[in-house]
């Protein structure tokens, strides 16, 4: 190969020099720039170049040497910078946050309700979901032929041959059963909140489900009055739905309370002026309540001449719908992340 060809070949090689690390760079230095490297060799050959060509080759050789040096310096600077940046990295820094799961909207609302009532002195009590007739109906003053006991509403657990059971076993249809569990085992004053899942034999649709969640409240003490009930309900409604919320108690009937009422709040969507959500009435129903029927107190072993009490029961799905405008009840139990992840920020 002529010297000219050799120089242009080296020019091309040097122009494409790449180094991933310091070892690569050192190898390049040895190959091209060291005392025994390719460029130094060319300089030794330069002695043999004819005098008239010396000038031209001299210029080319110097160009090659300079280019190689520049390229080497640039690669070195690049690697130094990389190393510096790597050293600057804070290895104690927490890694990028992993997406965490979200709280279920029903849990969020349940906890908010418990929080509001705990400020009025209520504590949480729990009871079994698989219950007996006595605690779900009997002690709560349901007549034996009451339609709620009907197979249409209640899931009964089949009797098993050979298994002795004192009562019918069923899935509780309301958390009022925890009232009777508490009253038969504790002495007044009683102030409890009973959250839990309840079951009813209903066809599943956007507006009904075979299981849902309730929170029952019970307060039994001396001199508990209807005014206490009303005040507690007003406090709850305003804490939950805002200070401008109004309540309305409509006479109703439950076997275990006398008098009984259903409570409406002023529609929190239109502010009470009437919209499609409240069907133009300005009110939406949120719970049932009343004064504990003396028959219930007596059946549970509490002296109804000494004590009185109020009770209320609310549906957690209903309150959640009002708060988050969920239109289809089935969404609560489908575990679709597109639905659940909307509550990340709550």
Q: What does the binding site for ligand DAH look like in residue numbers (CB under 6 A)? A: 174, 176, 216, 254, 257, 288-290, 311-313
Q: Could you tell me if 229 and 311 are in contact, meaning their C-beta atoms sit under 8 angstroms apart?
A: no
Task: Produce one character per residue of 267-297: b if its CB has 16 or more CB atoms within 10 Å, e if not.
Answer: bbeeebeeeeebeeebbbbbbbbbbbbbebb
Minimum distance from residue 107 beta carbon to ligand DAH (Å): 20
Minimum distance from residue 313 beta carbon to ligand DAH (Å): 2
Q: Which is nearer to ligand DAH, 254 or 332 (CB)?
A: 254
The enclosing H or E element of 159 equals none
Q: Which is nearer to ligand DAH, 240 or 287 (CB)?
A: 287
218 vs 181: CA distance, rounded Å: 12
Write out the two tokens for 260: 């009984």
Q: Which is nearer to ligand DAH, 121 or 162 (CB)?
A: 121
180 vs 161: CA distance, rounded Å: 29
Q: Which stretches within 276-344 are classed as H helix?
A: 294-299, 316-324, 331-334, 337-340
Minimum distance from residue 92 beta carbon to ligand DAH (Å): 54
Q: Which is nearer to ligand DAH, 256 or 283 (CB)?
A: 256
Minimum distance from residue 257 beta carbon to ligand DAH (Å): 4
CA 275 distance to own-chain centroid: 30
Q: Which is nearer to ligand DAH, 71 or 110 (CB)?
A: 110
Q: Which is nearer to ligand DAH, 32 or 312 (CB)?
A: 312
Minimum distance from residue 115 beta carbon to ligand DAH (Å): 20
The enclosing H or E element of 105 equals helix 105-118
Q: Which is nearer to ligand DAH, 272 or 313 (CB)?
A: 313
Q: Which is nearer to ligand DAH, 174 or 191 (CB)?
A: 174
132 vs 290: CA distance, rounded Å: 24
CA 164 distance to own-chain centroid: 43
Minimum distance from residue 249 beta carbon to ligand DAH (Å): 11
79 vs 25: CA distance, rounded Å: 9
Q: Could you tell me if 191 and 123 are in contact, meaning their C-beta atoms sit under 8 angstroms apart?
A: yes
Minimum distance from residue 111 beta carbon to ligand DAH (Å): 20
Minimum distance from residue 146 beta carbon to ligand DAH (Å): 12
266 vs 238: CA distance, rounded Å: 10
Minimum distance from residue 154 beta carbon to ligand DAH (Å): 12
Nearest residue by C-beta to ligand DAH? 313
Q: Could you tell me if 228 and 312 are in contact, meaning their C-beta atoms sit under 8 angstroms apart?
A: no
The conformation of residue 199, written as its DSSP 8-state character, comes to: E
Rg (CA), the chain: 41
Q: Which is nearer to ligand DAH, 7 or 292 (CB)?
A: 292
E strand map for the chain: 123-124, 130-132, 169-171, 190-199, 211-221, 247-254, 257-266, 283-292, 308-315
């Amino acid at each position: 190969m002529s010297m000219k060809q050799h120089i242009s070949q080296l020019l091309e090689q040097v122009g494409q020099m790449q180094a991933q690390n310091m070892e690569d760079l050192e190898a390049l230095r040895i190959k091209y720039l060291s005392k025994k490297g390719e460029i130094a060799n060319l300089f030794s050959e330069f002695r043999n170049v004819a005098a008239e060509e010396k000038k031209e080759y001299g210029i080319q050789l110097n160009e090659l040497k300079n280019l190689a040096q520049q390229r080497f310096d640039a690669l070195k600077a690049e690697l130094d910078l990389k190393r510096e940046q790597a050293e600057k990295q804070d290895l104690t820094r927490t890694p990028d946050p992993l997406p965490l799961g979200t709280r279920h909207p029903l849990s969020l609302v349940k906890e908010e309700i418990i929080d509001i009532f705990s400020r009025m002195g209520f504590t949480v009590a729990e009871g079994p979901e698989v219950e007996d007739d006595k605690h779900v109906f009997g002690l709560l003053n349901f007549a034996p032929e009451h339609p709620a006991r009907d197979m249409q509403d209640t899931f009964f657990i089949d009797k098993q041959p050979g298994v002795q059971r004192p009562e019918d076993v069923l899935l509780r249809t309301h958390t009022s059963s925890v009232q009777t569990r508490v009253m038969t085992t504790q002495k007044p004053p009683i102030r409890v909140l009973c959250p839990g899942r309840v079951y009813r034999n209903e066809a599943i649709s956007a507006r009904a489900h075979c299981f849902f969640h309730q929170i029952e409240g019970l307060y039994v003490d001396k001199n508990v009055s209807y005014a206490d009930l009303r005040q507690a309900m007003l406090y709850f409604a305003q804490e939950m739905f805002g200070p401008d919320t109004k309540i309305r108690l409509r006479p109703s009937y439950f076997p275990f309370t006398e008098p009984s009422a259903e409570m409406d709040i002023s529609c929190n969507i239109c502010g009470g002026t009437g919209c499609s959500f409240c069907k133009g009435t300005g009110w939406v129903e949120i719970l049932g309540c009343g004064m504990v029927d003396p028959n219930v107190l007596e059946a549970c072993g509490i002296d109804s001449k000494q004590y009185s009490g109020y009770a209320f029961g609310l549906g957690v799905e209903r309150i959640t719908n009002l708060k988050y405008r969920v239109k289809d009840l089935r969404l609560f139990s489908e575990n679709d992340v597109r639905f659940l992840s909307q509550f990340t920020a709550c």
